[in-house]
Amino acid sequence: MSAAGDAGRGDRGSSLLLTGIGELTTGEPDGRCAGPAALLVEDGVVAWSGPAGEVPEAAGASRVDLAGRAVVPGFVDSHTHLVFAGHRAAEWEARMSGRPYVAGGILTTVSATRAASDAELAAGARRLAAEALRSGTTTLEVKSGYRLEVDGERRLLEVAGAVTTETTFLGAHVVPPEHAGRPDDYVELVAGEMLSACAPHARWADVFCERGAFDADQARHVLGAAAEVGLGLRVHANQLGPGPGAALAAELGAASVDHCSYLDDADLEALAASGTIATLLPVAELSTRSPRPDARRLLDAGVRVALATDCNPGTSFTTSMPLVIALAVAEMGMTFDEALQAATAGGAEALRRSDIGRLTPGCGADLVVLEAPTAVWLGYRPGVDLVAAVVRGGELVAGAWPAAAG
Ligand code: NIG
Ligand code: FE
């Protein structure tokens, strides 16, 4: 099985007609359309969708009757750190008893990841990508950032590249122990030799711009060098407190600034005026007992928002986009439709992709069949696995087609 990422589209000449859709979310501004609806896939791409009574002639198509189940676009998880070794359950348990999260916890995973073989790391990444796929994620972004040395970071990106094409170089995650007290030397290494080794294996570069990690000048230096070699930009910022990262992301035209729990009005204005998406990661706040970002405030200020898991062993050990959607609605002021959009088309925008995240003609046929009559159940039934089948590029890649009604 290929892991969640960018598998090729279905075979040329193949077509698939889904009928009996109880509710169809295409990602168009009019939101969810009540069924019965149908959707036609040709060569792995959505060819047509609409009311069941208007299905075009589709001679030769395989037909599947979904018997009233809801269909949504496959989730686009635009922020994960899937390549690592070990776990930090004890750190989580201590946090739940009141200990604060500090960025230094990342070094625990750095030492476990440096000690692991590439084969072990690849097996772990494949396992998590398969878990994500099973919960409806059809596109994943994956970052490096847990080896923090030239060859080590390159190898993490090679491992990431086996599960997705959306790979991100995060050499500027924290300063590693051998550079303790010499952060500027490390920044030179990241922006120089490490970037040269990693850029051929990455589409994006990211920097953790936060107290305890990298300041604005250091972040600007790394991101500027990355842009020069053709990488797209992303920034981790404003997670643990107010700071310069969000404004820097907007100024540099980054595709996304991620976390965004602490934004002031000037940050909102800068983001709204830029093409930079604010990617919110609510399980990171859940797992660090931190205040959640105020999505309502961002949306009302005209900032475009995506939702993602931040899957990592320290602050957010989940691959579940349904959980992310449920939290965004219950605790961050998003309507259900806004949250579903942010987890699909919003994630695609954060990756600057127009070929995924929607079920409109011409988009990849990446979709989730829910064991539910309406997508709203993703929030209404939190913690319950509602994913019946996952289709990517027109092919069934997880779950199963519903049995024909007897
Ligand atoms: O997105 N903020 C920085 N990086 C990760 C945390 C990684 C870790 O704690 O291992 C994050 O939350
Ligand atoms: Fe992260």
What is the pLDDT at residue 82? 97
In this prediction, residue 165 has a pLDDT band, given cuts at 50, 70 and 90, of very high
pLDDT digits (tens, 9 = 90+) for 20-31: 999 999 998 777
120 pLDDT higher than 60: yes
Ligand 1 center to residue 211 CA distance, Å?
A: 13
102 pLDDT higher than 70: yes
What is the pLDDT at residue 406? 42
What is the pLDDT at residue 5? 38
Provide the pairing of β-strand 256-259 with 137-143: unpaired
Q: Within 10 Å of residue 89's Cβ, how many Cβ atoms?
A: 10
Q: Which residues line ligand 1 (CB under 6 A)?
A: 81, 105-106, 109, 208, 236, 239, 284, 310, 312-315
What is the pLDDT at residue 28? 83
Closest atom, ligand 1, to C-alpha of 84: 10
Q: How far apart are CA 369 and CA 65, in angstroms?
A: 11
Query: Which of 234, 256, 310, 318 is the best mutation target for the ligand 1 pocket, counting ligand atoms within 8 Å of the beta carbon and taking the most?
Result: 310
Counting ligands in written order, the one closest to the CA of 316 is: 1
Ligand 2 center to residue 80 CA distance, Å?
A: 6
Rounded to two decimals, the pTM is 0.95
Q: What is the mean pLDDT of residues 165-182?
A: 97
Query: Which of 236, 285, 290 is the best mutation target for the ligand 1 pocket, counting ligand atoms within 8 Å of the beta carbon and taking the most?
Result: 236
Nearest CA to ligand 1 atom 12: 315
Beta bridge partners of 312: 316
Ligand 2 center to residue 315 CA distance, Å?
A: 8
Closest atom, ligand 1, to C-alpha of 108: 10
Query: Which of 315, 316, 324 is the best mutation target for the ligand 1 pocket, counting ligand atoms within 8 Å of the beta carbon and taking the most?
Result: 315
Query: Which of 240, 312, 317 is the best mutation target for the ligand 1 pocket, counting ligand atoms within 8 Å of the beta carbon and taking the most?
Result: 312
In this prediction, residue 360 has a pLDDT band, given cuts at 50, 70 and 90, of very high
In this prediction, residue 9 has a pLDDT band, given cuts at 50, 70 and 90, of low
Closest atom, ligand 1, to C-alpha of 101: 9
Reduced 3-state DSSP string for the chain: CCCCCCCCCCCCCCEEEEEEEEEEECCCCCCEEEEEEEEEEECCEEEEEEEHHHCCCCCCCEEEECCCCEEEECEEECCECCCCCCCCHHHHHHHHCCCCCCHHHHHHHHHHHHHCCHHHHHHHHHHHHHHHHHCCEEEEEEECCCCCCHHHHHHHHHHHHCCCCEEEEEEECCCCHHHCCCHHHHHHHHHHHHHHHHHHHCCEEEEEECCCCECHHHHHHHHHHHHHCCCEEEEEECCCCCCCHHHHHHHHCCCEEEECCCCCHHHHHHHHHCCCEEEECHHHHHCCCCCCCCHHHHHHCCCCEEECCCEECCCECCCCHHHHHHHHHHHCCCCHHHHHHHHCHHHHHHCCCCCCCCCCCCCECCEEEECCCCCCHHHHCCCCCCEEEEEECCEEEEECCCCCCC
Ligand 2 center to residue 253 CA distance, Å?
A: 19
What is the pLDDT at residue 10? 54
Ligand 1 center to residue 107 CA distance, Å?
A: 10
Percent of the chain whose predicted confidence (pLDDT) is above 70: 95
7 pLDDT higher than 80: no
In this prediction, residue 48 has a pLDDT band, given cuts at 50, 70 and 90, of very high
Query: Which of 79, 102, 106, 256 is the best mutation target for the ligand 1 pocket, counting ligand atoms within 8 Å of the beta carbon and taking the most?
Result: 106
What is the pLDDT at residue 11? 57
Provide the pairing of β-strand 256-259 with 232-237: parallel
389 pLDDT higher than 80: yes
Burial class (CB in 10 A: 0-12, 13-18, 19+), 222: buried
Amino acid identity of residue 273, one-letter, is A
What is the pLDDT at residue 404? 64
Ligand 1 center to residue 315 CA distance, Å?
A: 6
Nearest CA to ligand 1 atom 3: 208
What is the pLDDT at residue 4? 41
Closest atom, ligand 1, to C-alpha of 109: 10
What is the pLDDT at residue 232? 98
Domains in the chain: ranges and CATH: 15-74+358-405 (2.30.40.10), 76-350 (3.20.20.140)
Average pLDDT over the chain reads 94
In this prediction, residue 172 has a pLDDT band, given cuts at 50, 70 and 90, of very high
Counting ligands in written order, the one closest to the CA of 79 is: 2
Assess contact for 376 and 336: CB atoms under 8 A.
yes
Q: What is the mean pLDDT of residues 359-383?
A: 97
Ligand 1 center to residue 116 CA distance, Å?
A: 19
What is the pLDDT at residue 99? 84
What is the pLDDT at residue 327? 98
pLDDT digits (tens, 9 = 90+) for 236-287: 999 999 999 999 999 999 999 999 999 999 999 999 999 999 999 999 999 9
